[in-house]
Amino acid sequence: MTTARQTGTDIDESVLVEGFLSGDESCLAAVHRRWGPLVYTLARRSLGDAREAEDITQLVFLAAWRGRAGFAPDRGTLPGWLTGIARRKIADALAARTRRTELVAAAGAQLLLRATDEAVLPESAIDRVLLADEMSQLPAPQRRVLNLAFYDDLTQTQIAELTGWPLGTVKSHARRGLHRLAGRLRDDGLVGCAA
C-alpha cells in the first residue's frame, strides 16, 4: 500500500483522501503539498497581499483538518472542498478588512470634523495640544502607525511596506492605538461617547 510519506504528488487521490479522513498526519502534509499552492493562489488573487494569503492558506488547512469528518467524498472532490473552505475564509478576511477600514475612517473623520468645526475657537488649540499629548503617551508602534495613517495619509498596506511589519501587526497597532486614544480622549472629555 502506498503511504503519504512519499512526495504527495505521486499518491493516488483516493488513498490520500482515505488517509486524510482517518487522521493520518502524513496525509495532511501530502494534501497541503498538493493543494496548498491552489489555495494560496486563490487567496493571493482575492486579497492582493502575500502575507494575508499565507495566513488564509494555513487557516484553510487547519479548518479542513479539524472538520475532516464533514468531508463526504461522494459529494465532491477534496480540492473542491478545500476551495470552498478557502472562499469562506477569504470572504471573512475581506469582511474583517472592511470593518477595520471603516473603524479607522470613522475615527479619523470624527477627529477631522471636530478639528475643522472648532478651528476658529480658542479651545481648539488646546484640544490639539491635548490630542498631541495623548498621542505622545501611546506606545511607540501604535503612535507610529496612527501618525503614518492620519498625517501621512498612508494605507495599512503601505504602512506595512514602509515599516517592514506584517500587515496583521500594523492592523493590530492601529486598532489598539485608536481604542486607547479614544478612551483617553473620552476620559479627558474631548470626545463624546457616541460613535
CATH number for 42: 1.10.1740.10
Q: Which of 87, 30, 18, 80 lies closest to 57, judged by CA?
A: 87
Q: How far is CA 155 from CA 67, 97, 130, in A?
A: 36, 12, 25
Task: Tell me the pLDDT tens digit for each residue of 93-138.
Answer: 888 888 777 777 777 666 666 655 544 455 555 666 667 777 788 8
Quote the pLDDT of residue 190.
54
Amino acid at 83: T
* pTM exceeds 0.85, yes or no: no
Residue 46 lies in a domain: yes
Q: Measured at the alpha carbon of residue 155, what is the angle toward residues 170 and 88, in degrees to the nearest 5?
A: 70
Q: Which domain holds residue 80?
A: 13-93
Final residue of a domain: which of 78, 93, 108? 93
Last residue of a domain, one of 58, 93, 128: 93
pLDDT tens by residue, 26-70: 999 999 999 999 999 999 999 998 999 999 999 999 999 999 999
With bands split at pLDDT 50, 70 and 90, how would you rate the model's confidence at 193? Answer: very low
User: Is 154's pLDDT higher than 60?
Assistant: yes
CB atoms within 10 A of CB 114: 17
Per-range mean pLDDT, top range of 12-16, 58-62, 148-152 = 58-62
